[in-house]
Amino acid sequence: MRIRREVYRYAFTAPEHVKAFDSLEAGNVPDLFPVSDFGDAAKEPNFNPDSMRSVLKKWRDRIAARDAERRDAWKGGNSAAVEKIRNDLVEIMLEYPVHFEKVEEWIKVAAFYLDEAKKAPEKKAEIGEKFMLSEEEICRIQRNIQAIVLEKEKIQ
């Protein structure tokens, strides 16, 4: 969860959650969400992961609504509101964690954009908009993720 908590700070992960949910076809809920994360409902003998779609739809709608609020706050230059909403969104997205492969993909996307910013400084504003973070904050999050990964490797 610590890595997710860091990665979910990137603004682009909220619309990515929405997009991933919207692309789910009937019967494919387990393709995006580990069934084990559905708690007690998943332990029921007749549990069907697709029955979670209505719950997940409400979750998706909460993400979309808060993300729209964050975008408005970002455009208005209200950094305190952006940060509060970012923290709220992290908690909302953690309610139903997507498969970790998605998280790994987003880590790679962040690294790609950081490389792009170094190669083409004129893209920094565009990248800042996508992440709603400064380049320094993006780098700090990447370092935090790397530290968590190294810590886990030491334990194993």
Q: What is the pLDDT of residues 89-138, one digit of tens each?
A: 999 999 988 999 999 999 999 999 888 888 888 888 888 888 999 888 98
Q: Retrieve residue 60's tokens.
A: 């998706």
pTM of the predicted protein model: 0.88
pLDDT at 156: 56
**In the chain, where the domains are located:** 2-155
pLDDT of residue 90: 97
pLDDT digits (tens, 9 = 90+) for 34-85: 877 777 777 777 777 777 888 889 999 999 999 999 999 999 999 999 999 9
- pLDDT for position 155: 67
- For 77, left (φ over 0), alpha (ψ -120 to 50), or beta? left
